[in-house]
Amino acid sequence: SPGLSAVHYVPLVVFPILLLQGIVGNILAIPILISVSRSAWSTVMYLACLAVTDLVILLIRCGSTWYKEAVGVDVSRRIISSSDAACKAYYFSFVCVQHINPWIVVAMSVDLMIATRWPRRTYIMCTLERARHVLLLIGILVVCLDISHFWTYGVPKPGLDCMYTEEFSDLFKNQIWPAMDNTFGTVLPLAAVSTCFGITARTLLRRSPTLIVEEESEMKKYFLELAALKDFKMICFILCLIFIFLGLCKISYILLTLLDSLAYIEIDCVTRELFDTLNMTFTFLFYGAKIYIYIAFSSMFREKLKFGFFKTIRKLEFFCKKICRCSRKWTLVPPKDKSQETGSFSGQKRHSSYIGSTSTTGDITLYQSSGTETTPQIFEHATASCLDSCENVDNSSVNYRNWNQSVPENSRDQRTWEDVQIAGSGTNV
């Protein structure tokens, strides 16, 4: 049927695309968001932590679901059934991440409400230190709530699957505990975000343009990146709106499932699986597509992303040049006339001439002759031309290091420069 085809092909085709864009987008966004939180608005730290939890959920849920549809192997089931410790740790860690994710959105919505309702208190109430304390508090509360997974789940005997092992009544296991889990993980965060979002939207609608100009002129005294703060306020507003929509969809699905289990309504298996697949698709899209919102609404994010991209390209180019060296030949420019003086970096001159030996690997042994005695000295002009399509190096890009004077006076062949490195090419000369 069309429903069964959608249930099969949506995870098989759409989920890998969502997984790939989520991995790339969140990895790119995390360092930029941390940087913006330090310079523009501390609330952006919540977005960085949200990207981390989004990435973990995508890797575990989206990746496992897609691999099961493509290969027919449930990776998560194999991991948790491998041992009793893996079962307990896996369930505890994943449930903690799932519960932390919506409460980070709650913390972000509270800061958005403060920055909109009381903008003059933003620099006092929305600080980086307070954001760290809030994240720590959320982590402690979630761990205290989910610590019970260490004694309620396990592998009773080798060869069995990970299962619920605590001997509670079927009523508690099938109804009370799922209701508590959904209340803490979905209903309460949705109620908190909806309340803060309503106050924020009402404040924005009632604020006059004159008051907005006055507040911005005053906030310029405390925020260097006021434009970035306004951009990320809009981003947080949009994310809260999407979170409310997805939360309402999830609660609707939970209520339909509950009514079906209580025999108030009857939902066939195909329809239920289709609703579940659509719910997961929109949720994974929300987890992985936030970077598009950042790029569309924040100029600072775009600039930092562009700068990081070209910086990475330059590092890769330098790394490839250093690893994959081509065969090089170096030739020295003839020295100046002996009547001219050459010397140190300050421009003092002495009579000198250079003797060099070239090699195919790019290494050069340099000497400086002064009269009858050949002594290596720090030189000022050493220009080399690199054949085999290597970049030219000018005189200003030569770094010098002290000559090792421990070589005996009569062993001229052993006198070489300890390290003369041409900056930018990484070649020892």
Segment 289-295 shows an average pLDDT of: 94
The predicted structure's pLDDT at residue 5: 75
What is the pLDDT at residue 98? Answer: 92
pLDDT value at position 334?
56
Q: Over 50: is that where the pLDDT of 423 sits?
A: no
Name the phi and psi angles at 228, rounded to 5: -65, -35
**Mean pLDDT lowest among 90-94, 317-321, 397-401, 424-428:** 397-401
What is the DSSP secondary-structure string of 244-309?
HHHHHHHHHHHHHHHHHHTTSS---HHHHHHHHHHHHHHHHHHHH-HHHHHHHH-HHHHHHHHHHH
Contacts for 343 with CB less than 8 Å, ≥ 6 apart: 349, 350, 380
At residue 176, φ and ψ (nearest 5 deg) are -70, -50
| 401 pLDDT higher than 90 | no
For the stretch 189-233, pLDDT in tens is: 999 999 999 999 999 888 888 887 887 787 777 777 788 888 999
CB atoms within 10 A of CB 190: 20
Amino acid at 259: L
Secondary structure of residue 328 in the 3-state scheme: strand
Band (pLDDT 50/70/90 cuts) for residue 346 is: very low
Higher per-residue confidence, 211 vs 407? 211
pLDDT at residue 2, as a whole number: 64
Straight-line distance from the first to the last Cα atom of the chain, in angstroms, rounded to the nearest whole number: 72
Could you tell me the pLDDT band of residue 173, with boundaries at 50, 70 and 90?
confident
Q: What is the DSSP letter of 42?
A: T
- The two tokens of residue 16 are 């890998």
C-alpha distances in Å from residue 154, one per residue of 77, 133, 142, 143, 160 = 12, 33, 20, 18, 10
* CB neighbours of residue 41 within 10 Å: 27
Q: How far apart are CA 48 and CA 107, in angstroms?
A: 13
Q: What angle do CA 26, 29, 33 make, to 5 degrees?
A: 135
**For the chain, percent of residues with pLDDT exceeding 70:** 73
- pLDDT category, 333, cuts 50, 70, 90? low
**Does residue 79 have a pLDDT over 60?**
yes
pLDDT score at 403: 39
CA distance 160 to 81: 7
CA 375 centroid distance within chain: 54
